[in-house]
Amino acid sequence: MRQTIDLPLVVDRDCGVPLAVQVAGQLREAMRTGGLKAGERLPSTRGLAALLGVSRTVVTDAYQQLYAEGWLDGRHGSGTYVADEALPYDRPGARAVEARRVRHHEQARPGVVDLRPGRPWVLDYDTAAWRRAWRSAGELAPDAYPDPYGHPELRELLADHLRRARAVPVGAGNVMVTRSTGNGLDLIAATLLGPGTKAGVEEPGWRAARHIFASRGAQVVPCPVDEQGVIVEALPDDLRVLYTTPAHQFPVGGRLPIPRREKLLAWARRTGAIVVEDDYDAEFRYDVAPLPALYGLDPERVVLLGTLSKSLGPDVGLGWLVAPADLLDAVAERRVLLADRTSGPVQRAVTTLLERGDLDRHLRRMRLEYARRRAVIVEALGPYVRGDTAGLHVMLALPAEVVPGLVRQAGERGVLLNTTEPHHLGPPRVHGIVLGYGSASRADLRRGCAVIRELIPPEGA
């Protein structure tokens, strides 16, 4: 049982400095100098406010500022703690504290730093909320005939989540609960595609989308992208479906601007194509506000796909598909024929996480954590970084002749990297490294970035 500590704080109402700033400053100094240690529990906002003779709002504002700076960590129903990551790296034992947190299953060899994309951080979550969610799932009797649309209660909660998080005006009747983005994309492909149809995929883009479309008999058409996203003028008029990642293009990292979004939707209306919008990385934004989802701009021509794989982890196995009601009905009919379904207990567990606000709290914490990791990369490799406004990966733009040797030498030094080459259907157009920072600790990120920086040849060499 962790003990709440007594804090020797004072406030001066006559010094002209806001009280919340005073409280935050004294707490920050205590953590910086070791007066407060990692894992120690702070008093409740109500308790500290009473001790200092200030309003609870003063303490709440101070705590919120320290949360935002990464000094504090919180657990629902458990209290407020000094975060392990708040330890300055020149403090004794600080590196050991973070190293103990890195036990990712991908890092089979000691000392390996895995900087490949698509891997979120799964070691840090609210264990009490997780257990509570699965206890509620255990109380649910198995369904004899699972609803192909998903549990009605969860569909309502997901619709509300999308309205709040993505400003998507959607009702539960437009939402289907899937197992993942890939599952949702396959259901759309099975419903709309077949021999003789054409499906567009960004070039470079997500490899799985190409394989999914091809497995349903469609001809896959590579559609070029630039630093902002898919190039609308290059789209052919005979596509039945176009798969795109407008929030954070994978792997280049572009953010499709509003004028181009409008052009894309005008193209879809003119040609009759369905745009499949993978809302990839939209939940993690840095320095910029999220742009409106394509679905919200034209819900008749767009299918929106999303997942919890980045926010909670791929092993959870839950996502969503948002579509016009008639198309959703057609997808549901096809899903029944395919005997495809989403686990009932998983749906019940996620319902509990959404009902209690646990998922929202987890997302807020992880946004701050991923922002700190992104800052490590930008600081170390800034001149080469592209697409760093969102998500869990960036692209390092490098000359084509440099990339293979750099990746090989980094691997020999224990740093695993991924290049842009495999994400092309045709000859590579974009060259560089797709650098993921979801699953590596900040200490390992620093080490990996240092290795990369050493291996990049000097300009003109």
- 242 domain residue, yes or no: yes
Phi-psi region of 380 (alpha: psi -120 to 50; beta: other; left: phi over 0): alpha
Answer yes or no: do 378 and 309 share one domain.
no
pLDDT of residue 287: 66
- 375 domain residue, yes or no: yes
Q: How many domains does the chain have?
A: 3
| Burial label, 72 (beta-carbon count in 10 A; 0-12, 13-18, 19+) | buried
User: Cβ distance 391 to 311 under 8 Å?
Assistant: no
User: Cβ distance 279 to 166 under 8 Å?
Assistant: yes
- 113 domain residue, yes or no: yes
Among 251, 204, 195, 227, CA closest to 417: 251
Q: Of 79, 97, 115, which residue is a domain's last?
A: 97
Provide the CATH number for the domain around residue 66: 1.10.10.10
d(CA 4, CA 393): 38
How far, in whole angstroms, is CA 384 from its chain's centroid?
A: 22
Provide the CATH number for the domain around residue 373: 3.90.1150.10
- 162 domain residue, yes or no: yes
Q: Of 333, 357, 381, which residue is a domain's last?
A: 357
Answer yes or no: do 159 and 292 share one domain.
yes
Q: Please provide the size of the chain in residues.
A: 461
Identify each DSSP E strand in 136-284 by its residue range: 175-178, 198-203, 219-226, 229-230, 241-244, 274-278
Provide the CATH number for the domain around residue 313: 3.40.640.10
- 8 domain residue, yes or no: no
Answer yes or no: do 447 and 318 share one domain.
no
Answer yes or no: do 340 and 384 share one domain.
no
Bridge partners of residue 436, in order along the sequence: 393
User: Which structural domain range is residue 218 located in?
Assistant: 129-357
Among 445, 425, 423, CA closest to 251: 423
Answer yes or no: do 183 and 293 share one domain.
yes
Answer yes or no: do 371 and 232 share one domain.
no
Answer yes or no: do 349 and 258 share one domain.
yes
User: Cβ distance 189 to 172 under 8 Å?
Assistant: no
Q: Where are the alpha helices (DSSP H) in 73-228?
A: 94-99, 127-138, 152-166, 181-192, 207-215
318-367 pLDDT, tens digit each: 999 999 999 999 999 999 999 999 999 999 999 999 999 888 888 888 88
- 322 domain residue, yes or no: yes
Answer yes or no: do 254 and 310 share one domain.
yes
Q: Of 309, 338, 357, which residue is a domain's last?
A: 357
Q: Which residues contact 252 (CB under 8 A, 6 or more apart)?
A: 204, 225, 226, 227, 229, 386, 387, 395, 420, 430
Answer yes or no: do 311 and 387 share one domain.
no
Answer yes or no: do 316 and 402 share one domain.
no
pLDDT of residue 146: 86
For residue 433, how many C-alpha atoms fall within 13 Å in the half-sphere facing its CB?
Answer: 30
Among 337, 341, 290, 347, CA closest to 316: 347
The rounded radius of gyration (Å) of the Cα atoms in the chain is: 24
User: Cβ distance 288 to 255 under 8 Å?
Assistant: yes
Answer yes or no: do 176 and 230 share one domain.
yes
- 461 domain residue, yes or no: no
pLDDT of residue 258: 92
Q: Which residue numbers in the chain have pLDDT < 50? A: 1-3, 76, 86-108, 460
Answer yes or no: do 397 and 301 share one domain.
no
88-120 pLDDT, tens digit each: 433 333 333 333 343 343 344 557 899 999 888
What is the SS3 assignment for 305? strand
Sign of CA dihedral 22, 28, 32, 38: positive
- 6 domain residue, yes or no: no
